[in-house]
Amino acid sequence: MKRLDNKIAIVTGAADGMGEAIVKLFAAEGAQLIAMDIDADKLKQAHAGGNENIKLIASDVTRPQVADEAIGEAVNAFGGLDILVNCAGVVEYENVEVMRDDNWQRTLDVNLNAVFSLCRKAIPQMRKRKGGRIINIASINAYVVAPGLAAYAASKHGIAGLTKTLAVELGPDNITANYINPGAILTGMTRPLMEDPETKALFESFAVLPKMGMPDDIAKGALFLASEDAAFITGHGLTIDGGFLAKVK
């Protein structure tokens, strides 16, 4: 038996990087999925092959009705919702003194407000299923920060607080809520930075292990939190950073 047989999941940010890897691993483990991303072309390319257990929704997670649409599609296509993985995210580097209002707002809207909206809408469906799993992607920037990351770090600190509160509120319903703190992971967000040799060397130096993190590393953590192996784990931040925080905390 596969680890996610008969489970229904929604994954945002599914066209590349961590979200793409999570969708593919969850599908391989038996889940039926709604894969969401703002980039329709990349989403189709990432999940080409016509897997009937993966339904694609190309939409901006900040749209007011997107949570209703995604959860409605999960119910209509597969019959309910067991797992929600909020992976969509953005980052721009601007110091606070010169930060544009639209940069701050867009970062909070994508990284935090959309997560809140999807979680809120998912709860009734998970209650109907007598349990569920909420997995939010935070960051090591929920613990340590750097110049230019005020909006991003604020959003990821918010993810930690939101997820812990969900865990406390939803525990009686057998719904767990956890978050993952990726370190330096090679994704669509970080890949352009690797074109600069100094930046690439810096990112590669973050982990104490002799490798840079890959999307599959995060997907495996998400699979664990989504599975029955993590049935008694909630309100937890699972750090997957190759040992970076062990060096700096």
Q: Among all residues, which ones are annotated catalytic?
A: 152
Residue 177 parent element (H or E) = strand 175-182
Question: Letter for the amino acid at 92?
Answer: E
Contact 121, 67 (CB under 8 A): yes
CA dihedral (56, 19, 69, 91) in degrees, to 10, reads -130
Q: How far apart are CA 222 and CA 127, in angstroms?
A: 21
Q: In what order do the strands lie in the sheet with 54-58?
A: 54-58, 32-37, 8-11, 83-86, 132-137, 175-182, 237-240
Bridge partners of 71? Answer: none
